[in-house]
């Protein structure tokens, strides 16, 4: 067994606009076992500054803009991508990474966003729902480690209400008086709404 075995497999997840070549959401990861500020370690992030990241993203957009395949080798890294509307979804892995595994991640991201955003995966919708997009990415990949690739599971985890917001049914009074109080409360609220109109 190789001493460099690790679950770390994703160097970056990028969502870039194809129209104006801007960043929508980018997440770069470094392996937890990589020494800080090291670019020679296999799990280290070679794009540690914003300037280097933007240069990488610009070159990546230029290279993939007219590609017919979904997998390329760019800057010594395996890059898988999907175009959705006016955005490109990228998953970047190391040069020795399994491209099928990375392709599963980009498909999970695409399908999760499609479920969460009701088949409207474009720049405007992604920006308006930035919180859902970020949570979906965090459910799929955490610190470069792939956690989940089932889009239905990812979407349900992201859209599920927190446990503390769920109503406790034990405190509801189902007696005759309780139902009567509930009806009165409903009538009062309805009357208030009618007066407001």
Tens of pLDDT, residue by residue over 88-119, are 999 999 888 888 999 999 999 999 999 998 88
Do both 138 and 179 map to the same domain? Answer: no
Q: Say what the pLDDT of residue 26 is.
A: 92
- The order of strands in the sheet holding 71-74 is 23-28, 12-17, 87-93, 77-84, 71-74
How many domains, in total, are found in the chain? 2
Residue partners of 196: CB distance under 8 A and separation at least 6: none
What's the pLDDT score for residue 89?
A: 93
Task: Kindly tell me if the per-residue pLDDT of 5 is higher than 70.
Answer: no
Q: Assign 112 to helix, strand or coil.
A: helix
Residue pair 46/52 in contact (Cβ under 8 Å)? The answer is: yes
Distance of CA 191 to CAs 22, 72, 183, Å?
50, 63, 12
Instruction: Please indicate, yes or no, whether residues 138 and 174 belong to a single structural domain of this protein.
Output: no
Q: Is residue 4 part of a domain?
A: no
Predicted confidence at residue 168, as pLDDT, reads 57
If residue 155 lies in a helix (H) or strand (E), which one and from where to where? helix 151-159
Print the domain residue range for 40: 12-159
């Amino acid at each position: 067994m190789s001493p460099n075995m690790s679950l770390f497999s994703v160097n970056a997840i990028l969502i870039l606009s194809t129209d104006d070549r801007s960043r929508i959401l980018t997440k770069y990861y470094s392996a937890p076992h990589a020494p800080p500020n090291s670019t020679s370690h296999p799990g280290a992030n070679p794009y540690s500054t914003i300037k280097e990241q933007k240069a990488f993203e610009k070159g990546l957009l230029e290279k993939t803009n007219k590609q017919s395949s979904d997998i390329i080798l760019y800057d010594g890294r395996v890059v898988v991508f999907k175009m959705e509307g006016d955005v490109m979804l990228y998953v970047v892995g190391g040069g020795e990474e399994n491209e099928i595994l990375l392709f599963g991640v980009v498909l999970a991201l695409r399908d999760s966003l499609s479920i969460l955003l009701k088949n409207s995966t474009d720049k405007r919708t992604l920006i308006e729902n930035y919180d859902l997009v970020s949570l979906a990415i965090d459910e799929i990949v955490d610190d470069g480690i792939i956690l989940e690739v089932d889009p239905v599971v990812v979407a349900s985890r992201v859209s599920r209400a927190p446990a503390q917001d769920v109503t406790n049914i034990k405190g509801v009074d189902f007696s005759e008086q309780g139902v009567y109080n509930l009806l009165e409360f409903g009538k009062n609220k309805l009357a208030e709404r009618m007066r407001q109109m």
